[in-house]
Amino acid sequence: MLIRLGYDIQFDLPVDTPFVGMVSVHPSREQDLREPDELTVDPATPITSYIDSFGNRCTRFLGLKGPVRLSSSTLIEDSGDPDPVNSSGREMHVEDLPKEALIYLLGSRYCEVDLLSATATQIFGGLPRGWGRVQAVCDWVHNHVAFGYAYARPTRTALEVFNERVGVCRDFQHLAVTLCRCLHIPARYATGYLGDIGVPVSPCPMDFSAWFEVYLEDRWWTFDARHNMPRIGRVLMATGRDAADVAITTSFGAAYLKKFEVVTEEVPAMSLSRSSG
């Protein structure tokens, strides 16, 4: 299937302000793009890109004083298959993990491994190691945390999610990531596009989504404590230790958000036939 991806983000800047954006499809999915995936800034300003230490594509630019618009539209090919499941996936002993995975066992800005380790061991320590234990973490978070946009708070940590039992998608993933790390399972935060493909259409405006990945056997696998089911059309943009590493935009100065729209929707085959004819 083909999926249309895009965004329209607008700010008002009191002065010229440097930005770093993480709004591109992840390099691991670039081969699936069928149109260029490039950030447009209006008013025009020089844009450069680089790959950060986590392997994400980043862009940097100087936003000019006044209204600034960030936008993009691209087309990506997707298998149309749900997230893969490997119910026999094995946990690796810490001493056998690749060195690149070790950072995802440690505490980070939103993931207080030290403060939740005893709790994680109490709840999940007696379960068989492997895929099923990670799924048990997802089930627990999904069933014990209430979702609602009114609960959004950018400073909420995993421990606060555990205590408050409310949050948005990033909060669900932060708690699940932390619980997995407490169990010595490498877990990293992920963000990207996730449209309402194969599920009932949500009445809420489209947004970027968060999920998480765990390292089992010899690769990273996708899990989602918020939706807690394999989904179709998930398009990765960035991974990191937690949300602090994968902010959609970071401004080095005041930037007042005025508009935020995200598009991620399947392109009907009929539309493609007409456009190509």
Do 100 and 198 lie in one domain? The reply is yes
Pairwise CA distance, residues 212 & 239, whole Å: 8
The beta-strand segments (E) located in 142-208 are 146-147, 166-167, 187-194
Residues above pLDDT 90, as percent of the chain: 93
Residue 174: band (very low, low, confident or very high) from pLDDT cuts 50, 70, 90: very high
Q: Please count the other Cβ atoms lying within 10 Å of the Cβ belonging to residue 26.
A: 18
Q: What is the CATH number of the domain that holds 19?
A: 2.60.40.2250
Q: Give me the numbers of helices (H) and strands (E) for the chain, helices first please.
A: 5, 14
Residues 169 and 223 in one domain: yes
Report the alpha-carbon distance of residue 261 to residue 255 in Å, rounded.
17
Model-level pTM greater than 0.85? yes
Asked if residue 58 is part of any domain, the answer here is: yes
Give the CA distances from residue 90 to residues 105, 115, 214, in Å, rounded to whole numbers and listed in that order: 16, 26, 11
pLDDT at residue 276 in the model: 46
Convert the pLDDT of each residue in 216-262 to its tens digit.
Answer: 999 999 999 999 999 999 999 999 999 999 999 999 999 999 999 99
Q: Has residue 86 been placed in a domain?
A: no
- Average pLDDT value for residue range 70-99: 97
Question: Would you say how long the chain is, in residues?
Answer: 277
Which residues share a beta bridge with 250?
Answer: 20
CATH number for the domain harbouring residue 124: 3.10.620.30
Asked if the structure places residue 253 within a domain, the reply is yes
**Residue 10 belongs to domain spanning:** 2-80+248-276
Same domain, 40 and 173: no
Looking at this protein, which amino acid is placed at residue 264? T
Dihedral-angle region of residue 217 (phi above 0 means left; psi in -120 to 50 means alpha; beta otherwise) = left
Placement of tokens 């089911």 in the chain = 229
**Domain count of the chain?**
2
130 and 241 co-located in one domain: yes
Residue matched to tokens 């627990």: 140
Whole-angstrom distance, CA of residue 96 vs CA of residue 83: 26
pLDDT at 164 over 50: yes
CB 7 within 8 Å of CB 277: no
Condensed to tens digits (0 to 9), the pLDDT of residues 38-66 reads 999 999 999 999 999 999 999 999 999 99
> What CA–CA distances, in Å, run from 191 to 13, 39, 134, 223?
26, 17, 19, 12
Q: Are residues 72 and 123 in the same domain?
A: no
